[in-house]
Amino acid sequence: MDQGEKIIEVVGLTYVYPDGAPALKNISFVVYAGESVGIIGPNGAGKSTLLLHLNGLLRGKGKIFVAGEEINQKNLRKIRSKIGLVFEDPRDQLFMPTVFDDLAFGLINQGKKEEEIERKIQKVLSELKLEGCEARPARRLSAGERKKASLATVLVMEPEILLLDEPTANLDPGGRKSFINILKNLSLTKVIATHDLDLVRQVCSRVILLDKGIIVAQGGAADILNNTSLLQAHSLA
């Protein structure tokens, strides 16, 4: 995909959890290839729910196109190979006995050969400076290493789009800085749900502000982040 092409298009997305009020109400937006878009909003705004729709883990009313293809029941596997989600809690991502096994999991499912699996894993471990962690179980890593290992399980699949849910939650200042630097250096399209506005300022060029399941504002990151009264009105300042 060349920069400037629509890589995600969401049209009239509405979702109601089985037990509740609508979590997303008629959401429409576009993400262009190569962009980093921040989805900001207070707790309960619908940010996580939106990310879960973008890779087909939840199915609401409306249409979602990823790399030109509408998500449906039949193409979920293909869609998920293009758009990878890094969960807020690494425990949702890392469940195998070792980090190596976690990284190999998706590649084995794709039927990749052992040599190729080994090569791809070593490449991503080296890019994320995680060499030496592969033989360890994720629970023995530091929070920062665990977060990177979580990202590694997604990157090793070579997606076109990276979805990140609250990527800096629970990281200490050093781990947070290091993770933000990694995100800055990744050139693939990114959609980041967070209320860490400094992260958005450093990584994102565009922002969508979500509150109570509705897009209340979208625009250039600097414009939105400098609009103190807008941020205050949505519990973000």
Binding to ligand ADP, residues 94-153 (CB under 6 A) = none
Inter-CA distances, 209 with 47, 67, 214, 218, Å: 9, 23, 8, 6
Contact status: 57 vs ligand ADP (CB under 6 A):
no
Contact status: 174 vs ligand ADP (CB under 6 A):
no
- The span of 45-53, 111-119, 169-177, 227-235 binding ligand ADP (CB under 6 A) equals 45-53
Tokens of residue 128, six digits:
């994320």
The CA-based angle 110-168-236, given to 5 degrees, is: 125
The CB-of-194 to ligand ADP minimum distance in angstroms stands at 9
**46/175 with CB nearer ligand ADP:** 46
Contact status: 17 vs ligand ADP (CB under 6 A):
yes
Tokens of residue 135, six digits:
């033989």
**130/197 with CB nearer ligand ADP:** 197
Contact status: 45 vs ligand ADP (CB under 6 A):
yes
Q: Which residues, including other chains, have CB under 8 Å from residue 61's CB and lie 6 or more apart?
A: 12, 13, 14, 15
Distance CA 219, CA 96 (A): 40
Which residues of this protein are in contact with ligand ADP, per CB under 6 A?
17, 19-20, 23, 41, 43-49
